[in-house]
Amino acid sequence: MTQKLADKVALVTGGTSGIGLATAKRFVAEGAHVFITGQRQAELDAAAEALGASATAFSVYNASKAAVRSFARNGILDLKGTEIRINAISPGVVPTPAYALLGLSPQQIRSFVDVQLQTIPLGRVGTPDEIAKAVVFLASDDSSFVNGIELFVDGGMAQI
């Protein structure tokens, strides 16, 4: 293939079958980073598998993160006057046992983390407890006037 979509990012809605799946496959073949959505988990899993294991974990994850961000930003309008707050946390690189679910070996995980260390302004990965502290802050009265935000707890990665 010509790789005419190298370094491009594509979101294919309805990417579990038919035209959507064919389009997602073509995008992957041309070098794009592809994220797919679908309504049924079994079909979504099968389509992600057909696209390749890197696509499997991150396509679903990233699509769900985008939905959470949108919900936090827009849901506050639906809840106006209820004193219910909606905020989202976007953690950076935090090695957890979930990394093993990606099908990577411990060495591949270590290599991934080592590469990421080069882009994190703090020069280190986060810990689960650091993320938990940010979540507790947003749930507490200490953040009583914080509403509809996405809080990046990522060592500064999103800022560069």
**Which residue numbers are catalytic?**
61
CA distance 38 to 24: 12
Neighbours of 154 (CB within 10 A): 20
The tokens describing 2, both together, are: 């010509």
11, containing H or E segment: strand 9-12
Residue with tokens 């696209």: 51
Count the helices and strands in the chain (H runs, E runs).
Answer: 5, 4
Asked whether the CA dihedral 7, 8, 14, 15 is positive or negative, the reply is negative
